[in-house]
Amino acid sequence: MFERNVPIPIATYANRKYPFAELQAGESVLYPCAPSDRRKVGKAAYRVASYHKWNIVVRSVPEGVRVWRI
């Protein structure tokens, strides 16, 4: 059944798995993860950076993955 005048819910960032969208220039964020998940985290960071047209650097560190916005 079709319905009219149903409002669209407001998008929130609370449900995001990775915090990369909130990075400001000059900041970095550490995402703790298992070594097997590091590639997935890096790809997610580059996807967000590409969407926002940011320059980032992603490095694997012993605690997980660190992302810098430059």
33-51 CB burial, b ≥16 within 10 A, e <16: beeeebeebbebbeebbee
Q: Report pLDDT for 15.
A: 55
- Tens digits of per-residue pLDDT, 18-39? 777 788 999 999 999 999 999 9
Summarize the confidence of residues 5-23 as an average pLDDT: 75
Q: What are phi and psi of 22, to 5 degrees?
A: -90, 0
**pTM for the model:** 0.73
- Tens digits of per-residue pLDDT, 35-69? 999 999 999 999 889 988 999 999 999 999 999 99
Tokens (6 digits) for 48? 């967000």
The domain ranges of the chain are 39-70
